[in-house]
């Protein structure tokens, strides 16, 4: 198999900020290859350096050392004018949308086209096409202040796509949006990636965003790249502490259960398709320990029994028992099962 040259190569990137009397290392030793057509997630806690990293990709922030190569252009070797030309081919959207508040939707989308020197008539035509793509044709003459957050981000996406970029950088693009809006924006990004083949880099602190649409993910922690690879691989088998912290939210091992109270639950032909125990844990928000289980699935019906160790807290335990009884499962309390 022939190895293709990655579209974006980040090489030995190092960025520090010099303060009054100290220096802060924002990024160090970042190496990353991103292939054409990928949706690449870069995830990290706030302050990890991910926003600096995305700004280094289009050289809005100049790295202290190291470089970024886009296609065949080494950005560290370009002068200001050449850099501006590269940036016209790299779209960017932001958490706060950053639309021009005194321009209407159409003129916002036309803005990058004005910079690239397109004629007025063609600009308008292109803006109409883009509004079609993001589904806002009826808002052409509206001002940003008249739009919802999700609509503003759609305008920002249209604006970022105006110059037919090969790459779209998304800096926390969904962080200011509610879950529904987030899904719809992610859907739009996926769509754009499919239809236009644009490489998308998504900076986020939300796992759901990466799981939702990314093919690859890089985890960044305190300025270091700790892990990268296919999303399934990294998330199913996080190797570093930073990755585990993100994937499991907390790095703490589950505390040993000390409760003495146990219950036996008997399945006698109820539907096996309802995940009773999982639902119970989610609904009651407390943990149980399965001490014994012998269940079978026979033609879609569950048979058998299971012994659960309940939490010590009486209220939590009662809540679980009542939940199970409410589900028509046979529950039998066992005293002193543990330690037998």
List of residues contacting other proteins (CB under 8 A): 58, 60, 83-88, 90-92, 94, 96, 98-104, 111-112, 114-116, 143-146, 156, 159, 163, 169
User: Is the CB of residue 109 less than 8 Å from the CB of residue 93?
Assistant: no
How far apart are CB 196 and other proteins at their closest, in Å? 18
Nearer to other proteins, 40 or 97 (CB): 97
How far apart are CB 85 and other proteins at their closest, in Å? 6
How far apart are CB 170 and other proteins at their closest, in Å? 12
Q: Helix, strand or coil for residue 12?
A: strand
Nearer to other proteins, 130 or 288 (CB): 130
Structure tokens at 219: 């985890």
Nearer to other proteins, 102 or 330 (CB): 102
Nearer to other proteins, 155 or 307 (CB): 155
How far apart are CB 242 and other proteins at their closest, in Å? 28
Residue spans of beta strands (DSSP E) within 185-317: 199-204, 216-221, 224-230, 262-271, 289-298, 301-309
How far apart are CB 107 and other proteins at their closest, in Å? 10
Tokens 């004629």 locate to 119
User: Is the CB of residue 265 less than 8 Å from the CB of residue 324?
Assistant: yes
Residues forming beta bridges with residue 330, ordered by sequence position: 266
Write the DSSP assignment of 126-174 as a string of letters.
Answer: HHHHHHHHHT-GGGTT--GGGS-HHHHHHHHHHHHHTT--SEEEEESTT
Separation CA 319–CA 152 (nearest Å): 45
Nearer to other proteins, 111 or 303 (CB): 111
Q: Helix, strand or coil for residue 257?
A: coil
Nearer to other proteins, 87 or 261 (CB): 87
Stretch (H or E) spanning 42 = strand 39-43
How far apart are CB 220 and other proteins at their closest, in Å? 20
How far apart are CB 210 and other proteins at their closest, in Å? 22
Q: How many residues does the chain have?
A: 340
Separation CA 11–CA 13 (nearest Å): 5
Nearer to other proteins, 17 or 292 (CB): 17
């Amino acid at each position: 198999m022939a190895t293709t040259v990655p579209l974006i190569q980040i090489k030995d990137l190092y960025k520090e900020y010099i303060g009054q009397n100290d220096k802060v290392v924002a990024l160090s030793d970042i190496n990353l290859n991103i292939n054409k057509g990928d949706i690449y997630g870069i995830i990290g806690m706030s302050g990890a350096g991910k926003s600096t990293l995305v700004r280094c990709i289009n050289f809005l922030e100049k790295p202290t050392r190291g470089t970024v190569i886009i296609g065949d252009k080494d950005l560290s070797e370009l002068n200001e004018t050449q850099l501006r030309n590269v940036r016209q081919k790299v779209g960017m959207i932001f958490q706060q949308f950053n639309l021009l508040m005194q321009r209407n939707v159409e003129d916002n989308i036309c803005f990058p086209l004005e910079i690239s020197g397109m004629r007025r008539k063609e600009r308008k035509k292109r803006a109409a096409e883009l509004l079609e793509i993001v589904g806002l044709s009826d808002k052409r003459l509206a001002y940003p202040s008249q739009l919802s957050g999700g609509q503003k981000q759609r305008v920002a996406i249209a604006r970022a796509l105006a110059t037919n970029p090969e790459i779209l950088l998304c800096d926390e693009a969904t962080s200011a949006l509610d879950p529904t809006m987030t899904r719809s924006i992610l859907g739009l990004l996926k769509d754009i990636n499919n239809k236009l083949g644009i490489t998308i880099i998504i900076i986020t602190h939300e796992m759901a965003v990466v799981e939702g649409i990314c093919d690859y993910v890089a985890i960044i922690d305190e300025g270091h790249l700790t892990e990268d690879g296919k999303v399934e691989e990294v998330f199913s088998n996080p190797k570093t502490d930073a990755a585990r912290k993100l994937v499991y939210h907390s790095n703490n091992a589950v505390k040993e259960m000390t409760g003495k109270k146990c219950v036996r639950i008997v399945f006698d032909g109820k539907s096996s398709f309802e995940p009773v125990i999982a639902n119970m844990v989610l609904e009651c928000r407390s943990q149980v320990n399965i001490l014994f289980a012998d269940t079978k699935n026979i033609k879609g019906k569950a048979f058998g029994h299971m012994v659960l160790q309940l939490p010590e807290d009486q209220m939590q335990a009662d809540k679980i028992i009542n939940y199970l009884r409410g589900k028509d499962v046979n529950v039998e309390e066992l005293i002193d099962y543990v330690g037998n």
